[in-house]
């Protein structure tokens, strides 16, 4: 499973070293040097772990953490130069999962990130649904049955499947699935959804896994028990 770590840190030296260590572990990283636009980025990209500085220009870490907790349980490690207990408690009360005081050991920080990722991976394995996507062959499998999709159909279904319950507008699907969305339209998305549903119906699923949300777009619906 590929993981992306979001680093929100206004000190470039700290961010650079942290990224080097994380990337050496095979992890993807993204860096913000201020607090503005962080929440919107998290909504769009859903990182695996967030390393969040408490004191930031634009918007402070506590406010960012509180806003993220309104829609996501992504693990958050808060970092700060403040060492008083009350400051740590403020961060934890805001929804942070862990707290590291500066100056900190980058190796220790990475070890904490890896510990969180191991928990995430174990949860994914335990909750793995019967429906499986095989990327190399553009195949969807369910209880021994399989159906082959086109590359576009597979990419479209994979986008919805990996973010269950999240509604994607047609415009977002065009941006994220189609390599050149200027050549396709909203109707093309609808056509691929119809074809995808038709093929998935061959798997004898307990319910239609693609939910249409009137005026909004499409979402993946978890399979009924």
Which burial class, exposed, middle or buried, applies to 44 when counting CB atoms under 10 A from its CB (0-12, 13-18, 19+)? exposed
Give every CB contact of residue 173 below 8 A, 6+ residues apart in sequence. Answer: 156, 159, 189, 217, 218
Helices 186-200, 151-161: axis angle to 10 degrees equals 80
Query: Where are the domains positioned within the chain?
Result: 4-126, 131-220
Per-residue pLDDT reduced to its tens digit, 103-157: 889 999 999 998 888 887 766 544 445 788 887 889 998 887 889 999 999 999 9
Half-sphere exposure of 224 (CA within 13 A, CB side): 7
The pair of structure tokens assigned to 114 is: 């890896």
Per-residue pLDDT reduced to its tens digit, 181-193: 556 676 888 999 9
Per-residue pLDDT reduced to its tens digit, 43-80: 998 899 999 999 999 999 999 999 999 998 899 999 98
Element (H, E) at 31: strand 28-32
Give every CB contact of residue 167 below 8 A, 6+ residues apart in sequence. Answer: 213, 216, 217, 218, 219
End-to-end CA distance of the chain: 25
Domain 4-126 falls in which CATH fold?
Answer: Rossmann fold (3.40.50)
3-state secondary structure of 212: strand
| Predicted local distance difference test score (pLDDT) of residue 131 | 82
CATH number among 1.10.10.10, 1.10.510.10, 1.10.275.10, 1.25.40.10, domain 131-220: 1.10.10.10
Rounded to whole angstroms, the Cα distance separating 83 from 12 reads 21
Element (H, E) at 63: helix 61-68
Residue 172 pLDDT > 90, yes or no?
A: no
């Amino acid at each position: 499973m590929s993981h992306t770590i979001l680093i929100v840190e206004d000190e470039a030296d700290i961010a650079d070293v942290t990224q080097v260590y994380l990337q050496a572990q095979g992890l993807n990283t993204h860096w913000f040097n201020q607090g503005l636009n962080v929440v919107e980025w998290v909504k769009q990209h859903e990182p695996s772990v967030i390393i969040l500085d408490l004191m930031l220009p634009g918007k402070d870490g506590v406010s960012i953490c509180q806003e993220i907790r309104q829609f996501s349980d992504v693990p958050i490690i808060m970092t700060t130069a403040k060492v008083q207990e009350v400051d740590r408690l403020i961060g934890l009360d805001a929804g942070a999962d862990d707290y590291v005081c500066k100056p900190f050991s980058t190796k220790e920080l990475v070890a904490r990130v890896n510990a969180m990722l191991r928990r995430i991976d174990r949860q994914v394995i335990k909750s793995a649904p019967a429906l499986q996507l095989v990327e190399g062959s553009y195949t969807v499998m369910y209880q021994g049955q399989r159906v082959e999709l086109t590359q576009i159909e597979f990419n479209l279904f994979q986008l919805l499947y990996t973010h269950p319950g999240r509604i994607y507008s047609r415009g977002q699907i065009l941006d994220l699935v189609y390599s050149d969305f200027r050549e396709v339209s909203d109707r093309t998305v609808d056509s691929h959804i119809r074809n995808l549903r038709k093929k998935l119906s061959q798997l004898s699923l307990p319910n239609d896994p693609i939910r249409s949300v009137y005026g909004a777009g499409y979402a993946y619906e978890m399979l009924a028990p």
